[in-house]
């Protein structure tokens, strides 16, 4: 049976085209790039929602709380072999990177104890939980004058993701990837990845997951 990989994220996982011009096709989104890279041995389950935060509702409509949505995603997708989480950017609109750090830590703990949280009839993970947390790409430096006003003063805050998420990964003994070390988001809206960014991230996640499987 093929491995099953759940990718849980926000609009950059959904595939939002910078500037609000729609959604990238599935083969362009980073999850689609990942699927193409692992197509011979794994299935990728994409679960991205625009505006999703790590752990709270943000006033942008219902269903934005990452903690509340995790159970729905798991129960729809399990059994899974690997869970990949990339959240935190939307936390900056009304909170800060420290809140995102705590939110990611909580999500990892919930994944590790998924059977107890969700009372599933079968294990959520195949074997020991394998979890990859991705520190989101930093906002573009030009966000200070970008079109999304709630991110205009958050560039420096977004640069804290890498350090904070690495600390969570080490504390929880899970795998880690820093998207900001790989790519820069589009200058069009200073938040979302362009096609090249999706390609880079998808291939990097594929390499990382291959390492995790070998371990």
pLDDT band for 23, please (50, 70, 90 cuts): very high
Buried b (16+ CB within 10 A) or exposed e, 99-121: bbbbbbbbbbebbbebeeeeeee
pLDDT band for 59, please (50, 70, 90 cuts): confident
The token pair at 146 is 């970008």
DSSP string, 2-27: -EEEEEEESHHHHTBPTTT--B--TT
Contacts of 212 (CB under 8 A, 6+ apart): 82, 130, 132, 175
The reported pLDDT for the residue numbered 47 is 98
pLDDT band for 132, please (50, 70, 90 cuts): very high
pTM, two decimal places: 0.97
The reported pLDDT for the residue numbered 25 is 98
pLDDT digits (tens, 9 = 90+) for 83-125: 999 999 999 999 999 999 999 999 999 999 998 888 888 899 9
Choice among 18-32, 43-57, 68-82, 111-125 with the minimum mean pLDDT: 111-125
pLDDT at 146 over 80: no
CATH number of the domain that residue 197 is part of: 3.40.50.1110
Give the domain range for residue 194: 3-214
pLDDT, mean of residues 36-55: 98
pLDDT, mean of residues 155-166: 97
Tally of structural domains, the chain: 1
How far apart CA 200 and CA 103 sit, in angstroms, is: 26
pLDDT, mean of residues 177-191: 96
Whole-number average pLDDT of the chain: 95
Q: Considering the chain, what percentage of its residues have pLDDT values greater than 70?
A: 100
């Amino acid at each position: 049976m093929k491995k099953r990989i759940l990718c849980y994220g926000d609009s950059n996982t959904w595939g939002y085209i910078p500037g609000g011009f729609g959604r990238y096709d599935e083969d362009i989104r980073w999850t689609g790039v990942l699927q193409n890279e692992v197509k011979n041995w794994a299935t990728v389950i994409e679960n991205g929602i625009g505006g999703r935060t790590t752990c709270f509702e943000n006033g942008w409509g219902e269903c934005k709380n990452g903690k509340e949505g995790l159970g729905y995603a798991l129960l729809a997708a399990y059994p899974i072999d690997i869970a990949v989480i990339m959240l935190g950017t939307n936390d900056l609109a009304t909170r800060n990177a420290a809140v995102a750090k705590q939110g990611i830590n909580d999500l990892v703990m919930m994944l590790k104890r998924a059977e107890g949280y969700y009372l599933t009839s079968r294990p959520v993970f195949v074997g020991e939980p394998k979890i990859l947390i991705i520190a989101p790409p930093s906002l573009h430096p030009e966000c200070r004058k970008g079109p999304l006003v709630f991110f205009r003063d958050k560039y420096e805050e977004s640069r804290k993701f890498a350090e904070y998420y690495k600390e969570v990964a080490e504390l929880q003994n899970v795998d880690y990837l820093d998207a900001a070390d790989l790519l820069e988001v589009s200058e069009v809206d200073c938040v979302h990845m362009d096609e090249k960014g999706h390609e880079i991230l998808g291939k990097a996640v594929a390499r990382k997951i291959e390492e995790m499987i070998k371990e």
